[in-house]
Every structure is written in C-alpha cells, then in structure tokens.
Amino acid sequence: MYKFEPILKTLIWGSESWQLSGVPGSLSVVFEGPEKGKTVADLLCEQHEQLVGRRSYERYGDVFPLLIKFIEANLPLSVQVHPNDELARKRHNSFGKTEMWYVLHAKKDAYLYAGFNRLLDPESYCRMVEDGSITQALAKHSLQEGDVFFLPAGRVHSIGGGTTIAEIQQTSDITYRIYDFGRLDKNGNPRELHTELAKDAIDYRVFSDYRTHYLPCPNRPVELVNCDYFTTSLLDLNQPIHFDHSAMDSFVIYIGLEDNCEFTDEKGEKALLHAGQTLLVPASNGRLNLRPVGTAKLLEVHI
C-alpha cells in the first residue's frame, strides 16, 4: 500500500494538490516505506498488472490511468471542456478526460457550472463566446458539502470561487479554455482561449439534471459514479469493515475526506490514512480491513 507526496500547483484562480498522478512531468512519488522515493511510474514498470490489474495494464500499458486532485478555487475557474479519447488521440496522441467532482467545502452562495441550460449549435456557441454571454447558456448549480457531479468528456463546466473539490479523472491534462471572464496572465495578456478546438469537442445535448443523486448509508459502499474509466463509491464509517477485492482485477484508491482510517492488508501490513491523503492499494493486494479512528469518510475508486 502506497501513500504519495502531494504535488502542489498554484494557479491564477487558486490551487491544486495532485494526490496521485501518472502525468509526465508531474509523477507522484512514494513518501514512506521500502519504496520511498519511487514514482508511480517506477512502481508500474516494476509490477505491471500486479499493481493495476490485467485489464488495466492491457488497456493503458505503463501509464497509470487515473489522476486524483484536490482543487481549491478562490476565484472561478475558466469555462472549459475536455476532448474524448478519439479526439484527444487524433489531436494530441493522448487519452481524453472524463472526470467527476465531490464537493468537500462550499462557501455560502458558492456555485459551479456543468452542462447547458438551452440547446446550442456550434455557430451559436461561437457567437456567445465572442460576445461574452456564454455563461448565460450554462446550467448553474448551487453547492453544499457532499454534492457530486459527473463530467463525461465533452461536457462544458466551470468551478465557482469559494469551493474545495476532490476530482477523479482520466490521466490527461488536456483542457480547452472557452471563456475566462476577461482575466489577464502574469504578463498582462489575455489568457489563451481555444474556441475552435472546443467547438468540435463539446457535447451540445441538454439534460434536465446534471447533479448525481445518492442516499448516504453508513458502513457500506455507496456508489456515486460507474463509467468506462472508473467507479467511485463513498464510505462513511463508524465501525470496521472488510473488503475482498481479489476478484476485481483492479487497483483500489482510497481518498481521505474526514478523520482517519487504519488499513490492514492480508499480509498484516498497516497504513493510517488521514483526511487529505490518498492511498493506493495494488491489485495483487485483494483483502483489506478498514478501521475508522472514531469515524472516517473516504472515497473508494477502482476501474
């Protein structure tokens, strides 16, 4: 079981902490134990399917398939969209970017944009970007702790200020910036927009509800998202729980949201996961006991 040094990034609108990353140039590094100092890429090259599972290794090779972040938005992020696998491969020789958000904290009146509130076509989209009215066509969502949003590639979105979010996404750093509220970069120039690139990446469909609804249930996994790229569940624990993942053929990631949780694997190895930390459990390590220290809230992620 592995915990990693967070990779901290300061941005014009706030900050990100990359908790587990296989993105080239931003590879997570193990910070304790016998493998201390190794990157997640090193672990994958050494362990192959023993780390990630046979299906994942056949699909992604020596690229760790998920990126885990904490995002703290002091100001609104740009309105943006991410390409799907097909378009990203064609344009950038990269994976696309499907993601999800779990809201950790939201100030009063905090909001985010996800999806459209009206039907647009590429031409009307371009006009609204040009005249600065594109946010009027976006579905705006008020926020509170525990809200969940699934963002398949192609869905236009933006996080508002005063919001802290846990993000789970494909390993990809491709973003098409559509609108940036007229902000300037550190050199005093308008930040680059990708209006034309985004035009062919956007899913213009309109849905009645973009929020993921779920019913919390103590001491059992509550599934939040199940897609082609990851499955995420919420664990709200006040008593120990046992998992047998040996037939899953996948690594499992645990993201600490509140309080602490002690993990014991089938070899007797222990790891204490604090809120704000992420734990990677290899696919070869199938049986786990989780013991909350009092209580604990976590996200569980696998493919």
Confidence category of residue 45, pLDDT binned at 50, 70, 90: very high
Q: Of 22, 154, 155, whose CA–CA distance to 85 is shortest? A: 154
235 and 180 co-located in one domain: no
- Same-domain check for residues 89 and 142: yes
| Gyration radius of the chain's alpha carbons | 20
**Residue 217 belongs to a domain:** no
Same domain, 200 and 237: no
Among 98, 211, 203, 106, residue whose Cα is nearest residue 149: 211
Are residues 92 and 205 located together in one domain of the fold? yes
pLDDT at 286: 85
**Domain-located, residue 285:** yes
Answer whether residue 80 is part of any domain. Answer: yes
Whether residue 161 lies inside any domain: the answer is: yes
> 283 and 175 share a domain?
no
Residues 68 and 125 both lie in one domain: yes
- Residue 28 token pair: 């997570």
In-domain check, residue 284:
yes
Please list, residue by residue across 85-97, b when 16 or more beta carbons sit within 10 angstroms of its beta carbon and e when fewer do.
Answer: bebbeeeeebbbb
Active site residues: 177
Kindly indicate the confidence band of residue 290, based on its pLDDT and cuts at 50, 70 and 90: very high
Residues 195 and 79 in one domain: yes
Do 47 and 285 form a contact (C-beta atoms < 8 A)?
A: no
> What's the confidence (pLDDT) of residue 185?
84
User: In 3D, which of 223, 98, 76, 202 has the Cα closest to residue 151?
Assistant: 98
Query: How much is the pLDDT for 49?
Result: 96
- Single residue among 212, 238, 256 that ends a domain in this structure: 212
pLDDT, tens digit, 9 for 90 and up, residues 103-112: 999 999 999 9
- Domain of residue 262, residue span: 222-302
Q: What is the pLDDT at residue 158?
A: 98
Q: What local confidence, expressed as pLDDT, does residue 19 receive?
A: 98
> CB count, 10 Å around CB of 13?
20
Q: Provide the pLDDT for residue 192.
A: 92
Question: Quick one: 232 and 204 in the same domain?
Answer: no
Within a domain: 140 = yes
Strand partners, 179: 79
**48 located within any domain:** yes
Condensed to tens digits (0 to 9), the pLDDT of residues 145-195 reads 999 999 999 999 999 999 999 999 999 989 999 999 989 888 889 899 999
Q: Does residue 136 share a domain with residue 26?
A: yes
Ordered alpha helix ranges (H), the chain: 40-47, 49-52, 54-60, 85-92, 122-130, 195-199
Instruction: Report yes or no: 132 and 199 within 8 Å, Cβ to Cβ.
Output: no
pLDDT given for residue 141 in this prediction: 98
Q: What is the pLDDT of residues 194-209, one digit of tens each?
A: 999 999 999 999 999 9
Domain boundary among 185, 212, 239: 212
Residues 7 and 97 in one domain: yes
Mean of the per-residue pLDDT values of the chain: 96
Last residue of a domain, one of 153, 178, 212: 212
Could you tell me the two tokens for 44? 């994958």
Per-residue pLDDT at 138: 98
CA distances from 114 to 53, 158, 197 (A): 32, 7, 19
**What domain count does the chain have?**
2
Q: Which of 228, 278, 212, 282 is nearest to 95 (CA)?
A: 228
Instruction: Tell me which residue of 165, 167, 159 sits closest to 66, measured CA to CA.
Output: 167
Note whether 271 and 158 are same-domain residues.
no
For the stretch 46-103, pLDDT in tens is 999 999 999 999 999 999 999 999 999 999 999 999 999 999 999 999 999 999 999 9
State the pLDDT at residue 34: 94
Report how far residue 171's alpha carbon sits from residue 60's, in angstroms, rounded to the nearest whole number.
10
In a domain, 89, yes or no: yes
> What CATH number has the domain bearing residue 159?
2.60.120.10
pTM for this model (two decimals): 0.96
Closest Cα partner for 171 from 7, 20, 5, 298?
20
Whether 133 and 32 map to the same domain: the answer is yes
Structural tokens at position 288: 């786990």
